[in-house]
Structure 1
Amino acid sequence: MRTIEFDNGNLIFLDQTKLPLEENYIATNDYERIALAIERLEIRGAPAIGVAAAYAIAVGLLSDQTESNFEKINRRLAMTRPTAVNLFWALDEMKKVYYANKNSKILLPLLFEKANEILQDDIKKCEAIAVNGNKIFYKKSNVLTHCNTGSLATAGNGTALNVIKKGFENGFVQHVFVDETRPLMQGSRLTAFELDKHGIPFTIITDSTAAFLMKQDKIDLVIVGADRIALNGDTANKIGTYNLAVLSNYHKLPFYVAAPTSSIDKNCSNGDEIKIELRDKAEITHIKNVQITKDNYNVYSPAFDVTPNNLITAIITEKDFHLPPYYFKNV
């Protein structure tokens, strides 16, 4: 299942806000529409955001390749999601190409070539992560995961969810427990959608059910993705991830993170330096535009939290199965 691709001059993406009840694909060559798609979470998942941003740069320069236009587009895209480091990594990759070739007659082909390279690179990284992630399984396991880290979050087959898929194919995954992932239900809407497509047995649970399952010995391991990893291994991921890491530590369960090396921020020494995106209060006060509580109530809605490195059993990238102590300066 491919949920983001470039074809016939358009970025084509599956609108994830409509899932699982409606599969609606959108095609556009408008960088502003792509920026809005990222902000609205029509395109989501750190690797997929990076791919989309790369193509947004290229299509945005189709009619105007001036430096002022490039910088305007770059600034607009950088505003969309502040925590996902893949966004800034992809923008930086496109910036290198632009400034090395801004006076060249083949600037546009080179930019599209780089965007294609970023997409293909993500596909390859997803597969390598799944191979390296095989090490987490030593018996037929019940796995708990949070948010969505599959094809919907990447250009390939996913990160943490791809590890689960490969584990199932190899006979190591018995059942997957899927946190609903409030407030936007990426687990119950998106991860469930993908697991169903692949025929993998799963059960949706509320985010607050995880501890009770662990207490009953119904969970063997937890694996999640990452939106930004600091050099020391501190990891930002969807809000609720830190809860799971603490619970896993208490119940003596392994807690794994799977992400591409493009999610490692080499300018960030530890989790305290990670900027956490705050979302609109309407995502809490409303569900699918249906109001469930009063608008005048105060709401605190961080999109992510940070899990300290000492709670992470291993970090799985396309390059290696990293064990603590983590030091990613040279990765």
Structure 2
Amino acid sequence: DWSSNAAQVEAWCAWARASFPGLPLAYLGHSMGGEAGDAAFRENPAVDAFVSLGMLPRRVPDCPTLIAFGRYEELFSEETAREVAGDRAEVLVSPYSDHMLEITDPFLVRGIVAWVNTTLGLGGTVAFSWTRWAVLLAAMLIGVPATLVLAEKAASYQRPSPMPTGIAPLPPPGRFNLFRPAARLLGCAGEALPPMSGSMPAAMVRGAVFGVVFAMLMSLLLSANVFTCSLNHPARLAAWLVLALPLAALFLRTSHALERVNPGTAFRRFAVGALTRATPLLVIASLLALRGPGIAFAGMMLAILALVFAFVAAVHALATRGAGDYRAGAVASGIVLAWITAFWLPLVF
């Protein structure tokens, strides 16, 4: 409910004032969070300081305001930001980040902390911790691969024996098989012999196990280190359940086409899927980025989508290897993409 964002920010400010009486209050919002703060504080600021990260306020509120962003921000240029700020707001620019990376940019975080300390007269009360930043970064770099490995182990628990090689060969890829160019590039050849073990229902269950275990572990990892992503949100949980079935069916269809090029190994299965789905999006994203701020934001969104598709290709490859069945990989891919859509995007039913 986009229209309620400002009211929610105002309610949070009222709660903070009541819970911590006498203490100064600052609000930091990134992207849509900055837009929500702009809407909430435009007429009657409820905070002592406002930081809009990666978003330009439509009108600078009547409270100390900092507009912070990276040099490669896709929504607006530095010149536009300084024009909007005028003499009513300060501007902080990092030479390192774009819209997506601003929240993890140490230059911006340190600068924001220093500005808030100075603006609210806190001296050095709050300090940026390089140690905590490094720990959070390491947690994600180690935690995401570990989550994939654990989900694969769960899908492989007491799996049935694989079907004999050649029991269910697929026809060769047709002329219009979208996976064919990447498969040729990676040297995929020979008769298509997709990995299968057990019945179709058993494969679907193993794929579901992979997807659910992965989502549960990733929710804990993200909630502890990046953003709140708990599975106990009723509307988003419902969106996940609604999207999982059609997406799993879609991936069952596309994985059949993928197996017809005979990827053979988990790496080739990942690489063919990732190259086929992500490369066109990355090319379009690069072209849009050259057009400058504004349209470049659409390019960034396409680049994020490309990364998501590459990640889902890894899910498919690992779930297939763990369950010994490409159909399990397809179901896991649908469940994971449904979870990403429901819990990472502002989409609820």
**TM-score of Structure 1 vs Structure 2, range by shorter chain:** under 0.3
Structure richer in helix, relative to its length = 2
Q: TM-score, normalised by structure 2?
A: 0.25
Whose radius of gyration is greater, 1 or 2?
Answer: 2
- Relative to the length of structure 1, the TM-score reads 0.26
